[in-house]
Amino acid sequence: MKNFLITLAVLSLTLMSCNSQKAVKPVTLGPNPFITHMYTADPSAHVWEDGRLYVYASHDVDPPRGCDLMDRYHVFSTDDMVNWTDHGEILNSSQVSWGRKDGGFMWAPDCAYRNGTYYFYFPHPSGDDWNNTWRVGIATSKHPAKDFTVQDKYIDMIGMEDDCFAMIDPCVFVDDDDQAYFYYGGGGRCVGAKMKDNMMELAEPLRAMEGLKDFHEAAWVHKKDGVYYLSYADNHAENGKGANRLNYATSNSPLGPWTYQGVYLEPTGCDTSHGSIAEYNGEWYAFYHNCSISGRGNLRSICVDKLYYNPDGTIKVVEQTK
């Protein structure tokens, strides 16, 4: 009997060890870029309640003309980080009643979820003087990748109502206590504020995100082990040409002040850089874009690589893979 119990105990420990090893088995990613049938940029990655990871990206229309023709947002999702589903177009500029009459200029978006509703945030000019009339619109749906309806009103930027020069790239971060925060920026400025529970209005005036170094655009906020991380693109150039990198800063508060930490993604071959950071099934990932398919900075393609933290919480420089 004693030998039987010892054998049973050993078998149980072996099974537990096998299950544990199975649970933490690392994912082997597929090749980059992971979307190749169309040109995509500015990936915003989120994991929703259905257990899938979704990427909301902007769309570089081919042939391009600068970045003004960008339009027709698509959503992509996966359940294994290798095989991706294109859910098709969810929104285009013709659906934006307050937008510029010539359309286009549908740049880097984001998405958030609360109480059964998905909120899709997108920048778009309201007038022909496009860089002075940027607004942030909202589309809502009961589904993560279809049936979005554009709201008739854009977000009222309290404290900066008429100061919208180059203000793009919305990011909405929902904290553990369900409080949502809004961030956006451009032209060297990054601002943020609490949002109301309706996810469509700011609850307070926007404030500057203090402590960032060489901020250009592409604000993104995530949280790990109680620390807030604000990542963004800088103004770095090489040989007289734009070669933006992704930097990050940390804080004990979602609205700062922030402590600059350094670069986590070196130039990708594009003049621009824009990324997001997300955890999925116990591993962290860095999403970004490059131009490895087209060789042109306005025909970009979204990529993903694993992201690792040092013991002190700082982020290791991402190894860009092909």
Q: What is the pLDDT of residue 135?
A: 98
Using CA atoms, how far apart are residues 217 and 47, in angstroms rounded to an integer? 23
**Domain spans, the chain:** 38-306
| Placement of tokens 């971060």 in the chain | 173
Using CA atoms, how far apart are residues 306 and 279, in angstroms rounded to an integer? 10
Q: What is the pLDDT of residue 22?
A: 45
The single-letter DSSP state of residue 17 is H
Write out the catalytic residue numbers: 42, 217
Kindly report the pTM of this predicted structure: 0.92
* Fold (CATH) for 38-306: Tachylectin-2; Chain A (2.115.10)
Quote the Cα angle for 224-219-280, to 5°.
40
Bond before 63 cis per omega within 30 degrees: yes
Cβ atoms of 106 and 122 within 8 Å: the answer is yes
Q: How many CB atoms lie within 10 A of CB 133?
A: 17
Beta-bridge mates of residue 46? 54
Where is 260: in which H helix or E strand? strand 259-265
Q: What is the pLDDT along the chain (322 residues), one digit of tens a residue?
A: 444 333 334 334 343 444 444 455 789 999 999 999 999 999 999 999 999 999 999 999 999 988 899 999 999 999 999 999 999 999 999 999 999 999 999 999 999 999 999 999 999 999 999 999 999 999 999 999 999 999 999 999 999 998 999 999 999 999 999 999 999 999 999 999 999 999 999 999 999 999 999 999 999 999 999 999 999 999 999 999 999 999 999 999 999 999 999 999 999 999 999 999 999 999 999 999 999 999 999 999 999 999 999 999 999 999 999 9
